[in-house]
Amino acid sequence: MNELEKIIRDRIAADGPMRFMEFMQTALYEPGHGYYTVEGTEIGLAGDFYTSPHAHRVFGVMLARQIEECWELMGKPGEFDIIEYGAGRGWLCRDILDYLRGRDIYDRLRYTIIELNSSMKERQRELLREHVDMILWADNPYNIKPLRGIIMSNELIDALPVHLVEYGPHGWQEVHIQIEGDKLVDTLLPLSSDELKAYLKEYAPERPEGYRTEVNLRAREWLQEVSGILEGGFIITIDYGYPASDYYDEERRRGTLLCYREHETNEDYLSHIGMQDITAHVNFTDIHRQGEALGLRTLGFARQGIYLVSLGIDEAVVELYGESPDMGREAQMVHNLIMPGTMGDTHKVLIQYRGNDTPDLRGFSMKNEMHKLA
């Protein structure tokens, strides 16, 4: 038993069964012990999973192009903020700023990384040393003044703690963690909040007995948080997930919750506590609806592959490698970002906007699937 599991057991012994949401919060974010806060956490090929920036640097180049388009659509303001949540080692930030260096926008940028892990901040500073003078670090956004620019995240919301629920003879119940003998086990108890009840009434009022799924209320809190500091501009959310109609389909009886350890997946979240990632897919319909309620206009929703092709990823590959003998190999590596059956298929891009107009974004010119979020 590691120290983190002991902390969880002590809290259950003192307070009674722990909601899965609190268990996931502790397993991932307990200061000094959680998966994302412990020193030495690795993301990428050397860690437990990798993300699009690890697949190829052209992903960062494409987001740099999106940032430049947004800046131009906002009239090329003299100060333009980028806030990045969940920056990992900083690969995405580096690739964005490397591409934009030397372009008109570069000297107008102020880049802020929201990062909880102090050791990760130091590793980010080392990786980003060529741009460090223009980057700020913050533990949270509350001290950030209202800004005009872009708030973006790549695979952030899937790691926010979720409520785990199951449908039974008496309707929806919430999964809690308790101690039975010497083991941590699941138990079902009544739903813990009216918001949780209202969410399930909206998206999944009834399901077959034994149906288990997730509810991410923290995503709503996050969106309200970032909306509160966005005076004008764009929120770019990239993650794996579905519209609500797909997420809560009756055939998806076990939900989407997965653990990642050494590039393999499992569903045993009560093992390797603090030593494996725990994730759940994103309900993009809820992000869209909550955004509309907060005064954000959804501009587009698309699969990552289609979005990147629309945005001109072929042009970017030629720009980067057109004269290189490695052009063919680099182009092949890019396939994992765009092709069916890869992150190009599983990951989606949602862009929301605060402003008086309705800008057209190139990335949604081929296939904008906003209608699926209705």
In this prediction, what percent of the chain has a pLDDT beyond 70?
97
> Looking at residues 318-343, what average pLDDT do you find?
86
Report d(CA 42, CA 374) in Å as an integer: 38
CB 94 within 8 A of CB 129: no
Answer yes or no: are the C-beta atoms of 149 and 159 closer than 8 Å: no
Tens-place pLDDT, residues 275-310:
999 999 999 999 999 999 999 999 999 999 999 999
Give 117's pLDDT tier (boundaries 50, 70, 90).
Answer: confident
pLDDT digits (tens, 9 = 90+) for 40-83: 655 545 455 557 887 889 999 999 999 999 999 999 999 999 99
Q: How far apart are CA 320 and CA 309, in angstroms?
A: 16
* Prediction pTM value: 0.95
Which of 328, 347, 329 has its CA nearest to residue 337?
347
CATH no., domain 52-161+216-373: 3.40.50.12710
pLDDT tens-digit profile of 141-159? 877 889 999 999 999 999 9
Q: Would you kindly state where each structural domain of the chain is located, as residue ranges? A: 52-161+216-373
| 83-92, 169-178, 296-305: range with lowest mean pLDDT | 83-92
For residue 182, CA distances in Å to 4, 12, 178, 274 come to 16, 13, 10, 19
